[in-house]
Amino acid sequence: MVEVSIDYKGDLHCEASHGPSGAKVETDAPVDNQGRGESFSPTDLIATALGTCMATIMGITADRKELSLEGLRIQVQKEMSSDIPRRIVRLPVTISVPLAGSHPSRKVLEAAALSCPVMESIHPDIEVPVTWTWL
């Protein structure tokens, strides 16, 4: 179990502390929801979690195969609903892999990304289209 402690700092700003490491993350409400957009919004962190989880699981898989994924780039866009309740409706992902498209580990790396714990935790109503770019 990992504990994250959140302190509300006022003006829609929060500071989250990661129990095991003490690392901190700040959030602010987005401009389109009464905030100033001075940091990640809570829903931005979901998009961030998805991309970093995909990269991490791909990295674990690559390490097992003694492959380098240095230069891997993942971009996640976050699209919010225009109706109530306010929610994430779409998280388009673009993954640029620094390996040839014909690489023998391509399918294993793709499967790893698509089965990361965050992807497995995203509600099925949220669309997550993934676009792959291989060298």
Confidence at residue 6, expressed as pLDDT on a 0 to 100 scale = 98
Summarised one tens digit per residue, pLDDT across range 81-100 is 999 999 999 999 999 999 99
Is residue 113 domain-shared with residue 91, that is, in the same domain? Answer: yes
Is residue 33 domain-shared with residue 83, that is, in the same domain? Answer: no
**Which residues are CB-neighbours of 20 under 8 A, at least 6 positions away?**
2
DSSP-assigned beta bridge partners for residue 52 = none
Is residue 13 domain-shared with residue 57, that is, in the same domain? Answer: no
Is residue 78 domain-shared with residue 33, that is, in the same domain? Answer: no
CATH of the domain at 105: 3.30.300.20
Question: Looking at the 3D structure of the chain, how many domains does it have?
Answer: 2
DSSP-assigned beta bridge partners for residue 96 = 73, 133
Is residue 68 domain-shared with residue 31, that is, in the same domain? Answer: no
Summarised one tens digit per residue, pLDDT across range 29-86 is 999 999 999 999 999 999 999 999 999 999 999 999 999 999 999 999 999 999 999 9
Structural domain boundaries, residue 122: 46-134
